[in-house]
Amino acid sequence: MPTDSPATPPGPLPAPPPVRRWRPGVGWICAIYLLLGALWILLGDALIQAIASDPAAIFRLHTTKDLLYVVATALLLYLLLRPFVARATAARATQEQSEAAYRELFESSPSPMLAYDLQTLRILEANRAALAFFGWEREQLLGRTLLDLWPAQQAARMHDLVDAIRRDRAPRRLPGEELVDSQGRLRRVETQGNCIRYKGRLVRLVIVTDRSSEQEAQQRRDLAMARLEEAQVIARLGSWELDPASGLGRYSDQAYLILGRQPPSPPQAHRLQDLLVAADSVTQARIEALIDDIGRGHHLQIDVLLPLATPDLQLRTVHLRGGPVVQEDGSAIYRGTLQDVTEHEESRRLLHEREDQFRELVRVLPDGVLILYDERVIYANSACAAQFDHPVEALLGEPLRQLVAASDLDAVRGHLRQPPPDTVTARMHRADGSLFQAGLTLGEVRYSGRDCRLLVVRDLTEPERMRDALAAGNAELQAMARRLFSLQEDERRAISRDLHDDIGQAITAMKLSAHAAMEEDDDARRNEDLAEIGHLADATVGKLRNLSMLLRPPQLDALGLEAALRWQANMLFRASPVRLQVDIATLPQRPGKEAEQACFRIAQESLTNVLRHACAGEVRIGLDDEDGRGLRLQVSDDGDGFDPDGPRGLGLIIMRERAQAAGGSLNLHTAPGAGTRIELYLPYAALREHNPKEP
């Protein structure tokens, strides 16, 4: 902590400059006084002896002469010393003011300052900041020694440092020291010291700068960096940087490990195409085209999945992302990330396979399958349509009371409210009004984001066939339910991975830019790194916003149905040559949330189908009120149309399911070459059957 100035031996304090100027004047006054006194005595005695011989007269003359001399010299001393006294008084006042000013500067300094005796190490002075920093009262701190402020385990080092200062009293700066406050806590500080004269002796003035917060911030930064590195390892995420001019790049250790290579030591630059070994010729062509475009100076935003082969012949799928970053000299470099998504892609492939298997299972299942929400059908398979002698589309939206005989309806409802699985026998209505005996196997399922009831309908008209197939049917039902639940969990897991991958890569890119900014000394380049962090943060927010819009359109909550439909239509057709006519009237009341969302999604699907498949020149969307009870949406186009009795796409089925789940209906009018018109009716409030267990 302490430090000292040049090696000058202590001695008497030099007089202030004004006093040194007075000393010649005082000497002359004393010399003149002695000269005049001697002349007065000698000449006065000689004159008295010359003019008087009587002793009494001589005595009187001597007395008169001495009185005159005293009066004259007193007057002369007054006249001569008056300006010197005035100057001395003024100098003293100036000195006191200067001392008071320096004292105020010392006391008001925000930095802790203290002075200690260089020989005894006793603390002589301390300002208010030092008292607050060390936590002592002034009376407690003054008189203590440096040993009280220095950690006991470093006492030997302190004595060595003090001895060095005593030998060489030059100013010193110690950037990293530890001092002890009144509570015994160690404080990381930086000290600067110099030797000064104080009250006639040589002391050391020390200025203390607290670096504890900086040390804590550095420790937190190091911890955060370690956690980010750990997150990269967990997410199997690496970073890279490529110079388009030379084709050479630098890569993080995790990037080398993802590509099945050992990180070089010391770090080296490599060509990207030397590290990316394609698993097939198509991928190799993509990599070569990508490197070629980068080398030509094309500012590309890279976001590709690449099947690669590692040196040990393992196949991996790598997600390569990146983009150009313009440097201060105007040149561009590419920075990005690469992530091992082999497991993610394999899970996605298995999910698609299981979905296809589930659809095929339900399609070929000999029993009817119904999914009910709020006692309305939102899904039915072909076997169920054959049992009820209805087309599948006609079953969608049908209430349970239209399918079950009135005498058995209460029993079926009672079993629906029981914990699954449960089985009940009931009579069901066919399209021609006839009844058939059916065995209903009940269960719970999650469909379209809602908790629904699953009914497996088995026709009991042929009891012998049903008895023989009962065991197999129950086993199939259990397997189907388990597979359905498994698919739902796999889908949730896939969405979770997508969120993790996007957000993880964006955070890593922000971390790299933040790391570069912290190590950058150039303010302009640091600002560029910070701007890139802002761009990455905006992109991440955009991804989250897009995901949120997929789950729930925010325009409905913020703008209402009418404004949301106008916004969606204009957004879809803003870059399309298809003419758009919007005829959306203001509804007398706001529909319920379920009806509002169903209308928005159906309009969105209809307009998207026009853009993708209709080859239309004009499309019209209209919305109006239907007798104050509901809303009617129409979407029509003059495109190619299609055969309404031909194969149906999944989109139309989902649209019907949405309409019927909200208590409405959807009608389709089309023919080859005659365009397409979709009419949707939805009540403002969805119709619900009374359920005593509902709140």
Q: What is the pLDDT of residues 217-259, one digit of tens each?
A: 888 888 888 887 788 778 788 888 988 888 899 998 888 988 8
**pLDDT on residue 548:** 56
**CB contact at 8 A, 340 and 258:** yes
Q: Is residue 524 part of a domain?
A: no
Query: How many percent of the chain have pLDDT more than 70?
Result: 84
**pLDDT on residue 98:** 82
Average pLDDT in the chain:
79
Residue 688 has pLDDT above 50, yes or no: no
Q: Is residue 67 part of a domain?
A: yes
**pLDDT on residue 692:** 38
Amino acid residing at 609: N
Phi and psi at residue 483, in whole multiples of 5°? -65, -40
Q: CB burial class (10 A; 0-12, 13-18, 19+) of residue 110?
A: exposed
pLDDT digits (tens, 9 = 90+) for 433-457: 888 888 888 888 888 778 888 888 8
pLDDT digits (tens, 9 = 90+) for 25-36: 667 777 777 787
**CB contact at 8 A, 208 and 112:** yes
Task: Give the chain's end-to-end CA distance (angstroms, integer).
Answer: 73
Closest by CA position to 413, among listed 468, 453, 359: 453
Give residue 358's pLDDT band: very low, low, confident or very high (50, 70, 90).
Answer: confident
Query: Parallel, antiparallel, or unpaired for β 248-251 and 237-242?
Result: antiparallel
**CB contact at 8 A, 505 and 344:** no
176 and 278 in a single domain? The answer is no
CATH of the domain at 561: 3.30.565.10
Residue 504 has pLDDT above 70, yes or no: no
More confident residue, 20 or 524: 524
The three-point CA angle 107-109-110 to 5° equals: 125
pLDDT digits (tens, 9 = 90+) for 572-587: 888 788 888 888 888 8
Residue 480 has pLDDT above 60, yes or no: no
318 and 240 in a single domain? The answer is yes
157 and 270 in a single domain? The answer is no
Amino acid residing at 421: P
Q: Is residue 526 part of a domain?
A: no
Q: Is residue 624 part of a domain?
A: yes
Give residue 683's pLDDT band: very low, low, confident or very high (50, 70, 90).
Answer: very high
416 and 439 in a single domain? The answer is yes
**pLDDT on residue 12:** 39
Residue 97 has pLDDT above 80, yes or no: yes
Torsion region of 469: left, alpha or beta (phi above 0 gives left; psi -120 to 50 gives alpha):
alpha
Of 189, 216, 243, the domain-final residue: 216
Distances (CA, A) of 16 to 23, 26, 83, 86: 12, 16, 18, 16
Q: Is residue 362 part of a domain?
A: no
Q: What is the mean pLDDT of residues 45-51?
A: 74
Q: Looking at the 3D structure of the chain, how many domains does it have?
A: 5
Give the other-Cβ count within 10 Å of 57's Cβ.
Answer: 12
Q: CB burial class (10 A; 0-12, 13-18, 19+) of residue 405?
A: middle
476 and 387 in a single domain? The answer is yes
**CB contact at 8 A, 659 and 651:** no
Q: Is residue 83 part of a domain?
A: yes
| Residue 281 belongs to domain spanning | 226-340
Place of tokens 């700066």: 173
Q: What is the mean pLDDT of residues 132-148?
A: 86
**CB contact at 8 A, 140 and 149:** no
The three-point CA angle 381-478-408 to 5° equals: 65
560 and 679 in a single domain? The answer is yes
142 and 212 in a single domain? The answer is yes
Residue 392 has pLDDT above 50, yes or no: yes
pTM: 0.37
Nearest-angstrom CA–CA distance, 673 and 640: 4
